[in-house]
């Protein structure tokens, strides 16, 4: 187990973590402020990836695709918020789960009608398609490195937005005490739409950046939603800071578990048992992490006050 391998796996964990953070940020705000369980959040991730892939192929430019994906997804999200989601805020969680599950089916079928059932192609831009030699003998995919940097930059920007601006103040207030915010005369409907669209744009960014690494296909947002829910539960619902810390924790646990557990078990067990046991435990690792955090802090790491 060389130092280089540990470094590379740590970068992999960070990259997966920032991706989770971009998706989780919107979801945790929507759940924390509007008290809405939005299962269709993953569908917005899919919309972002599809728009980016489509525009990239048409214009031959990944950056244009990325630039188109964010506003397009925010627009789709605003329409969905106005037409469907708005009616769900006052309903109980079961109704919300049912309705947003319906939205998943709607988005999957609509995507198929527009772009067909076959997965789409999305390549990284040429200047990020190779590898970067971080240290001698440790090539690392340039695109993944870019994802880490963009993710960290967006996290910083979001942190400033939430702590330093009027909108951020309203968002924090909304997460802590919704009734008080509306009682103070804030246009809560507009705030909700803005937060929903902002969350969608962040998710679209994650989807567009995931496209060149993963596959742009129907249903791609559903599998990613499970670790994202784990992230927001660990971080504390409604907390951006919590989502960031939890996303990195989950990302690192996810990658380190798969990378190192089989080897660790191999020290005491025979290889085939170690491999099977290692991959089984690493599949459970993020849930074990979540259970441990919840025993220690039942409301997550950084619950908003209120």
Partner 1 sequence: MKLRMTALAAATLAALPFAAGAPAQAADPVKIGMITTLSGGGSGLGIDIRDGFLLAVEEGGGQLGGVPVEVLVEDDARKPDVATEIANRMVERDEVDIMTGIVWSNLAIAVVPKVTREGVFYISPNAGPSLLAGRGCHENYFNVAWQNDNLHEAMGQYVQDQGFETAYILAPNYPAGQDALAGFKRYYKGEIVGEVYTQLGQTDYAAELAALRDADPDAVFFFLPGGMGISFIKQYDQAGLNGEIPLFGPAFSFDQGILGAVGDAALGVVNSSQWNKDIDNAANKNFVEGFRKAYGRLPSLYASQGYDAAKLIASALAKTGGVGDRDAFRAALEAADFESTRGAFRFNSNHHPIQTIYVREVVKEGEVLTNRIVGTAFEEHGDAYAEECSM
- Dihedral pair phi/psi, residue 120, rounded to 5°: -95, 160
CB count in 10 Å sphere of residue 264: 14
Give the nearest distance from C-beta 259 to partner 1 in angstroms. Answer: 4
Contact call for residue 217 and partner 1 (CB under 8 A): yes
* Least distance (Å) between residue 258 CB and partner 1: 4
How many binding residues for partner 1 (CB under 8 A)?
50
Helix axes 166-176, 188-210, angle to 10 degrees: 100
16 in contact with partner 1 (CB under 8 A): yes
Does the footprint of partner 1 cover residue 59 (CB under 8 A)?
A: no
Residue 59 vs 163, nearer CB to partner 1: 59
Among 45, 50, 143, 244, binds partner 1 (CB under 8 A): 143
Instruction: Report in angstroms how near the CB of residue 300 gets to partner 1 at its nearest.
Output: 24
Contact, 303 vs 236, CB < 8 A?
yes
- Contact assessment for residue 240 and residue 28, using Cβ atoms and an 8 Å cutoff: yes
Give strand pairing partners of 140: 132
User: Applying CB under 8 A, does 208 fall inside the site for partner 1?
Assistant: no
Binding-site member from 59, 163, 165, 223 for partner 1 (CB under 8 A)? 223
Does residue 149 belong to the site contacting partner 1 (CB under 8 A)? Answer: no
Which of 68, 99, 120, 146 binds partner 1 (CB under 8 A)? It is 120
How far is it, in rounded angstroms, from Cα 81 to Cα 13? 33
Q: Does 102 bind partner 1 (CB under 8 A)?
A: no
Minimum CB separation of residue 3 from partner 1 in Å reads 12
Which of positions 122-141 make contact with partner 1 (CB under 8 A)?
A: 123-124, 129-131, 139, 141
Q: Which is nearer to partner 1, 108 or 177 (CB)?
A: 108
> Scanning residues 225 to 264, which ones bind partner 1 (CB under 8 A)?
254-256, 258-259
| Inter-residue contact 129 to 143 (CB < 8 Å) | yes
By CB under 8 A, tell whether 288 contacts partner 1: no
Please answer whether residues 251 and 18 qualify as being in contact, where contact means their C-beta atoms are separated by less than 8 angstroms: yes
Interface with partner 1 includes 29 (CB under 8 A)? no
Q: How far is CA 75 from the centre of its chain?
A: 19
Q: Which residue has the tokens 């259970």?
A: 291
CB atoms within 10 A of CB 110: 14
CB nearer to partner 1: give 71 or 271.
Answer: 271
CB-based burial label for 9 (10 Å; 0-12, 13-18, 19+):
middle
* Helix (H) / strand (E) containing 12: helix 3-33
* CB-based contact 32:175 (threshold 8 Å): yes
Between helix 240-266 and helix 271-296 the angle, nearest 10°, is 150
Least distance to partner 1 from the beta carbon of 85, Å? Answer: 22
**Interface with partner 1 (CB under 8 A):** 2, 5, 8-9, 12, 15-16, 105, 108-109, 112, 117-121, 123-124, 129-131, 139, 141-144, 210, 212-220, 222-224, 254-256, 258-259, 272, 275-276, 279-280, 283
């Amino acid at each position: 187990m060389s130092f280089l391998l540990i470094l590379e796996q740590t970068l992999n964990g960070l990259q997966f973590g920032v991706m989770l953070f971009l998706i989780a940020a919107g979801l945790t705000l929507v759940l924390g402020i509007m008290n809405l369980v939005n299962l269709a959040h993953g569908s917005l991730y899919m919309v972002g990836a599809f728009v980016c892939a489509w525009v990239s192929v048409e214009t031959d430019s990944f950056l244009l695709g990325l630039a188109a994906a964010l506003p397009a997804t925010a627009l789709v999200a605003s329409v969905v918020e106005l037409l469907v989601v708005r009616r769900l805020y006052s309903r109980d969680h079961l109704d919300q789960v049912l309705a947003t599950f319906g939205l998943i089916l709607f988005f999957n079928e609509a995507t198929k009608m527009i772009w067909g059932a076959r997965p789409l192609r999305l390549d990284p831009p040429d200047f990020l398609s190779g590898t970067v030699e971080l240290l001698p003998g440790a090539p690392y995919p340039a695109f993944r490195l870019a994802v880490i940097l963009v993710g960290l930059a967006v996290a910083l920007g979001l942190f400033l937005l939430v702590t330093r601006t009027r909108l951020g103040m309203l968002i924090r207030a909304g997460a802590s005490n919704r009734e008080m915010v509306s009682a103070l005369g804030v246009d809560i409907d507009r705030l909700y739409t803005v937060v929903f669209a902002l969350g969608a744009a962040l998710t679209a960014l994650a989807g567009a950046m995931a496209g060149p690494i993963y596959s742009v296909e129907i249903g791609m947002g559903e599998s990613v939603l499970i670790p994202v829910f784990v992230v927001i539960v660990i971080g504390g619902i409604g907390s951006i800071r919590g989502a960031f810390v939890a996303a990195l924790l989950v990302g690192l646990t996810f990658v380190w578990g798969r990378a190192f557990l089989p080897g660790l078990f191999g020290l005491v067990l025979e290889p085939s048992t170690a491999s099977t046991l290692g991959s089984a435990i690493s599949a459970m690792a993020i849930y074990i992490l979540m259970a441990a955090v919840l025993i220690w802090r039942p409301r997550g790491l950084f619950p908003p006050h209120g």
